[in-house]
Structure formats: C-alpha cells, structure tokens
C-alpha cells in the first residue's frame, strides 16, 4: 500500500523490481499539507492521531501569524491546505503499469460523495479495460466528479514534488455540489413509479439526475410526488420521508438522485 507521495516513476521502478507483489495506489482525495504520517499538528492540538485515521485537519484551521512579536496577518487569518489529488486522466497508465488496486479517500465523506466518485472511476476503469486501444479520455469523467463537493484538483506527487500551485493558502476553494435529494428504494415497472427516500428538499418541476454504477445517468422532471398515503404533494421537505415519483426509465435500488443546477 503505497503512500500518496509515491511518484509514477517510483511506481514503475517498484513494479519492475517486484513484479509479483500486489500494489495499491492512491488516486483520489485530500492531500496532507505535510508528508503523510509525518505531521504532528493534529496530535499536538487535539490528541487525534493522523497515522491512525483520526486527523483533525489542523492545517486547515485559522491561525495568526507573528514576526518579531508583531502580527503580520491582521486582515484575515492564515490557513494551509493542499488541493485534492485527482488522477482521473491517468488511470490507463496506472492499469498498464500493473497496479492491482486503486485507493479512494472515503473516511468521513458523505454517501453522495462516495457514490459519485467511486461510480465514476468504476465506469472509467471498465470502459478502458473493455477496449484500451480505443479509449477516449474524455472530460466527461472529470465533469462527473465535479458534481460532488471537492476542492480544486491537482496531480499530487504523480509527476514530482508539488509546488505552490498545488496549495490553497488562505483559500478553502470548495466547489459547489449538485444537491443529493433522493435514494431509490424500489421501482414498479408497470406503474413506472419509483419508491424513494427523501434526502434533501425538492419539489414538483425540479429536474433530477439519477446516477448509478450500473447504468448511464437518467434525467427526468418531477411531475408528481406521492406520499405513502398515495396523496399528491407539491414539495418533499420532510427528512428521510418515503415518497413516490414517476420515472419513465427503470431505476435500481440504491440509485441516487440529485437536483440539476444551472440548467445542466
């Protein structure tokens, strides 16, 4: 299980010199502002051990900077943060290098984030492996990742040590996400009604995108919403409420739906 600081050149050397060992390589998620496992800020400030999965991300807290006893950042607090690693455009190279397992950050992430990221990479990997000679590394996979909350993306240590352009000093830079509004529980092919669990507010007239690791994304407009008493309602505003919506295309249990924003 290779550290996030392992470059692609190092990875190729490792594979060449250890052809039979299983290799796991990190491809997506947050980067440590330090070297992984060497930062002690979290341990010092909150007694949460970063090496045991408990990092409190102290680098992203707000700090005052002083020089010779004088404040040098009175206008705004200082923060440190790396851009998120995203190797969506290098999966083919990693597969050909002989990586056996890809690692994606998932700890403390929402179910919507994990579903979006994992299903995107799963589809990319399957498409590449089906016909690597004709694989088109289209931008559609990166566009799909942007539908979950992310910081700006970078290549991490893939090429070499990251520089200042891979950092987010004094910036949170978290990209907005399309809002996760429903989880599919069941689908009746005769009535074309999906039984769903409400996860965020939506209403009649909203355009919804259903996504899944098992099929292409499906778009539909909410024409009617039924509650469990088969009564028509205009809005879904009760957390985790069981509702029914009409979808012309069959959907699967645990498919997820999100509101389509800005006409997309």
pLDDT in tens, 81-133: 888 899 999 999 999 999 999 999 887 788 999 999 999 999 999 999 999 99
CATH superfamily of the domain spanning 180-259? Translation factors (2.40.30.10)
Of the pLDDT bands very low, low, confident and very high (cuts 50, 70, 90), residue 250 is very high
Q: What is the pLDDT of residue 171?
A: 62
Q: Which residue has the tokens 């705004």?
A: 76
pLDDT at 164: 81
Q: Worst-scoring range by mean pLDDT, 104-108, 141-145, 235-239? A: 104-108
Residue ranges per structural domain of the chain: 8-31+82-166, 180-259
Q: Which residues of 139-151 are buried (b: 16+ CB within 10 A; e: fewer)?
A: eebeebbbbbebb
pLDDT digits (tens, 9 = 90+) for 177-192: 668 999 999 999 999 9
Q: How confident is the model at residue 254 (pLDDT cuts 50, 70, 90)?
A: very high
pLDDT confidence bin for 7, thresholds 50/70/90? very high
- Convert the pLDDT of each residue in 29-79 to its tens digit: 988 887 877 888 889 999 988 777 788 888 888 888 889 988 888 777 888
CB 3 within 8 A of CB 11: no
DSSP letter string, 53-109? T----GGGS-B--EETTEES--SS-B---BPEEE-TTSHHHHHHHT--EEEE--TT-
């Amino acid at each position: 299980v290779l550290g996030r600081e392992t470059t692609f050149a190092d990875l190729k050397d490792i594979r060449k010199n250890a052809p039979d060992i299983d290799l796991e390589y990190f491809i997506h998620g947050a980067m440590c502002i330090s070297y992984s496992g060497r930062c002690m800020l979290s341990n010092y400030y909150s007694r949460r051990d970063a090496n045991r999965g408990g990092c409190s991300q102290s680098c992203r807290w707000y700090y005052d900077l002083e020089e010779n006893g004088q404040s040098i950042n009175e206008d705004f607090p200082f923060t440190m943060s790396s851009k998120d690693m995203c190797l969506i455009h290098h999966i083919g190279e990693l597969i050909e290098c002989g990586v056996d397992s890809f690692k994606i950050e998932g700890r403390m992430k929402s179910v919507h984030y994990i579903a979006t990221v994992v299903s995107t990479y799963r589809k990319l990997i399957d498409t590449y492996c089906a016909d690597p000679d004709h694989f088109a590394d289209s931008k559609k996979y990166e566009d799909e990742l942007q539908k979950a909350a992310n910081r700006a993306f970078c290549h991490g240590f893939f090429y070499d040590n990251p520089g200042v352009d891979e950092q987010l000093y004094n910036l949170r830079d978290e990209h907005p996400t399309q809002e996760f509004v429903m989880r599919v529980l069941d689908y009746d092919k005769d009535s074309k009604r999906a039984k769903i669990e409400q996860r965020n507010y939506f209403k009649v007239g909203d355009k919804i995108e259903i996504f899944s690791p098992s099929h292409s994304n499906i778009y539909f407009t909410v024409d009617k919403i039924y509650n469990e008493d088969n009564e028509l309602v205009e809005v879904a505003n009760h957390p985790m409420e069981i509702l029914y919506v009409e979808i012309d295309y069959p959907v699967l249990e645990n498919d997820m739906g999100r509101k389509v924003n800005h006409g997309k």
